[in-house]
């Protein structure tokens, strides 16, 4: 197979990290500028895995305070939705100044990851980041009430908040790109061989991984979306369509734009076939860890395979996007969330166990994201759209066993409640969470202005790099991680 490089290193250098290839002709010219060669020196491999929980998870029924005073506050606000204190799984967190936490009873695997895999406290792989959400700048309750600061556009809207979590541009932008895509614009050419995109999605197209010069490579748990004939049924309509498309791009065209389009499509086909060849090179039993038969577990198993193949794919840096939807529980929250957490928790547990088995745990950080948190007050059967919520970070580089950030008061009309049923003002911005991930990932301080334009409203990444990770605003990484 002609393993054509889809965007050469010299083309990356010529384009620069912020330029936009606006026409097919530009792309064709960039393709002609491809030069052989390897990325900048280095042998480390790092992967960020985003598990997006579409719908807005009610995360204050996932991570629950269990010390007497704060549990009483929680129970009073949540009324008929409050989990009983006796049902909570016990978390033995490090630090916390006497604050105690429990987990939803359907998250036994997360409990083990937090307290220590296999009962080993040295293998704490999971931490929570409390009350994180979209912010443009530091915002107090008084700022919100008096409209003293700029606020994220269209708060409490699914489509807008999903976009803002994935772009880290809560004020909106005319040219939408995602923060992982912008990071890929900066990092890809200097850390990876140009064999395939560093942005892999098992959940279709997303904004998160789209940069100015970067697109995601969409896969399924079974591999690449190849145009090659699969299987013996030559009359399968999809197979026939793919063969026809491949035939079209193999034609010779006199029109420059047609030629450029055909070349781009051909490169895409070759990239898909190359990835599929590598994907199939691993046996089905490349890992003995068993994965549940759920959609999110199968996505995670596909992600594990692609992480195992980083070297073969020429990727020292890699982002992976997964999705698990259905968390918009306006009704029947207790039953529906319980069922979904009993799907999510074992999937995450199997994924981390697989990383441990393959000795890849120290080079992968996984994290959850969601549209927004949900109201503390019950609407009778469920909860409504809100703002701040809790997310998890998981992996060998994570200082597991802690609740990072600032867990809010759960009192209705309390110091964190902006009103309308217990919508909590975030105490940690998405920028602060993402910056810590990207510092570990290898993004240089002088690139943060491009990748996370609002970060300077919260802190200086130059100072952060020179300090211990524990001194960062969130502080969920182990020491000596960057």
Contacts (Cβ under 8 Å, ≥6 apart) of 448: 435, 438, 455, 456, 461
Beta bridge partner(s), residue 477: 398
Q: Given CA atoms 280, 286, 288, 291 in this order, what sign does their dihedral have?
A: negative
**Angstrom distance (rounded) from CA 480 to CA 72:** 39
Rounded Cα distance between 139 and 47, Å, is 32
HSE-CB at 402 with a 13 A cutoff on CA atoms is 17
Residues 343/57, Cβ–Cβ less than 8 Å: no
For 291-321, give the secondary structure using H, E and C: CCCCHHHHHHHHHHHHHHCCCCCCECEEEEE
347 vs 355: CA distance, rounded Å: 13
CA-nearest of 24, 33, 107 to 64 is 107
Q: What is the pLDDT along the chain (482 residues), one digit of tens a residue?
A: 334 344 433 335 444 433 333 333 333 333 333 333 344 457 899 999 999 999 999 999 999 999 999 999 999 999 999 999 999 999 999 877 779 999 999 999 999 999 999 999 999 999 999 999 999 999 999 999 999 999 999 999 999 999 999 999 999 887 789 999 999 999 999 999 988 999 999 999 999 999 999 989 999 999 997 655 443 334 444 444 454 444 444 445 455 554 444 444 555 678 888 999 999 999 999 999 999 999 999 999 999 999 999 999 999 999 999 999 999 999 999 999 999 999 999 999 999 999 999 999 999 999 999 999 999 999 999 999 999 999 999 999 999 999 999 999 999 999 999 998 999 999 999 999 999 999 999 999 999 999 999 999 999 888 777 667 767 889 999 988 88
Each as own residue / partner, the long-range contacts of residues 86-92 (CB below 8 Å, 24 or more positions apart, any chain) are: 88/64, 90/66, 90/115, 91/115, 91/401, 91/403, 92/401
d(Cα 123, Cα 297) in Å, to the nearest integer? Answer: 22
Token pair recorded at residue 104: 């939803």
Q: Which of 209, 212, 207 is nearest to 181 (CA)?
A: 209
Q: H or E segment at 120?
A: none
Q: What are phi and psi of 17, to 5 degrees?
A: -75, -15
Task: Report how far residue 130's alpha carbon sits from residue 388's, in angstroms, rounded to the nearest whole number.
Answer: 8
Give the residue extent of every domain in the chain: 44-224+291-471
Q: Hey, CA dihedral for 64, 66, 71, 75, is it positive or negative?
A: positive
- CA nearest 468: which of 481, 455, 457? 481
Gyration radius from the chain CA atoms: 23
Q: Using the Cα atoms of residue 313, residue 202, residue 188 and residue 48 in order, give the sign of their dihedral.
A: negative
Which residues, listed in sequence order, are joined to residue 424 by a DSSP beta bridge?
417
> Of 69, 111, 1, 80, which is closest to residue 392 (Cα–Cα)?
111
Gap between the Cα atoms of 345 and 357, Å rounded: 18
Q: Tens digit of pLDDT for each residue in 57-92?
A: 999 999 999 999 999 999 999 999 999 999 999 999
Strand segments, DSSP code E, in 137-247 are 199-201, 217-220, 223-224
CA distance 417 to 333: 21
Residue 142, number of CB atoms within 10 A of its CB: 9
Sheet holding 89-91, edge to edge: 63-65, 101-103, 89-91
pLDDT tens track for 205-252: 999 999 999 989 999 999 997 655 443 334 444 444 454 444 444 445
Question: Considering only the top CATH level, what class is 44-224+291-471?
Answer: alpha beta
Distance CA 313, CA 163 (A): 29
Closest CA to 337 of 107, 85, 102: 107
414-418, long-range: CB within 8 Å, 24+ apart, which pairs?
A: 414/73, 415/141, 416/131, 416/141, 416/388, 417/141, 417/376, 418/141, 418/144, 418/145, 418/387
For residues 225 and 248, what is the distance between their CA atoms, to the nearest angstrom?
17
């Amino acid at each position: 197979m002609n393993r054509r490089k889809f965007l050469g290193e010299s083309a990356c250098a010529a384009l620069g990290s912020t330029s936009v290839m606006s026409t097919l002709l530009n792309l064709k010219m960039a393709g002609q500028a491809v030069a052989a060669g390897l990325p900048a020196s280095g042998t480390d491999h790092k992967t960020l895995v985003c598990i997006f929980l579409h719908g807005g998870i009610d995360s204050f029924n996932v991570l629950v305070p269990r010390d007497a005073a704060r549990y009483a506050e929680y129970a009073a606000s949540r009324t008929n939705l409050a989990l009983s204190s006796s049902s909570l799984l016990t978390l033995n967190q490090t630090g916390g100044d006497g604050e105690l936490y429990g987990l939803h009873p359907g998250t036994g695997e997360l409990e083990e990851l937090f307290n220590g895999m296999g009962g080993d406290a040295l293998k704490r792989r999971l931490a929570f980041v409390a009350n994180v959400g979209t912010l443009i700048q530091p915002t107090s309750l008084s700022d919100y009430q008096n409209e003293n600061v700029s606020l994220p556009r269209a708060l409490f809207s699914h489509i807008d908040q999903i976009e803002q979590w994935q772009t880290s541009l809560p004020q909106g932008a005319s040219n939408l790109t995602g923060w992982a895509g912008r990071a890929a614009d900066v990092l890809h050419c200097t850390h990876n061989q140009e064999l395939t995109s560093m942005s892999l999605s098992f959940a279709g197209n997303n904004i998160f991984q789209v940069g100015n010069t970067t697109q995601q490579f969409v896969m399924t748990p079974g591999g690449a979306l190849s145009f090659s004939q699969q299987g013996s049924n030559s009359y399968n309509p999809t197979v026939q369509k793919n063969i026809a498309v491949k035939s079209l791009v193999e034609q010779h065209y006199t029109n420059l734009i047609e030629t450029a389009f055909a070349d781009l499509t051909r490169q895409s086909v070759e990239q898909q076939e190359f990835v599929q060849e590598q994907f199939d090179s691993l046996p089905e039993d490349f890992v003995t860890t068993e994965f549940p038969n759920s959609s999110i577990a199968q996505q995670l198993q596909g992600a594990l395979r692609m992480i195992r193949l980083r070297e073969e794919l020429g990727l020292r840096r890699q982002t992976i996007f997964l999705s698990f939807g259905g968390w918009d529980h306006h009704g029947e929250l207790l039953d529906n969330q319980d069922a979904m957490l009993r799907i999510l928790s074992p999937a995450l547990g199997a994924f981390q166990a697989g990383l441990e088995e393959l000795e890849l745990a120290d080079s992968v950080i996984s994290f959850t994201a969601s549209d927004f948190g949900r109201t503390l007050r019950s609407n009778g059967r469920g909860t409504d759209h809100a703002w701040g919520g809790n997310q998890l970070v998981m992996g060998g580089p994570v200082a597991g066993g802690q609740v990072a950030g600032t867990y809010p008061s759960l009192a209705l009309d309390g110091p964190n409640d902006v009103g309308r049923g217990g919508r909590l003002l975030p105490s940690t911005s998405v920028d602060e969470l993402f910056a810590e991930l990207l510092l570990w990932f290898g993004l240089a301080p002088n690139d943060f202005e491009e990748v996370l334009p609002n970060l300077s409203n919260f802190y200086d990444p130059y100072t952060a790099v020179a300090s211990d990770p524990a001194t960062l605003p969130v502080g969920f990484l182990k020491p000596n991680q960057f």
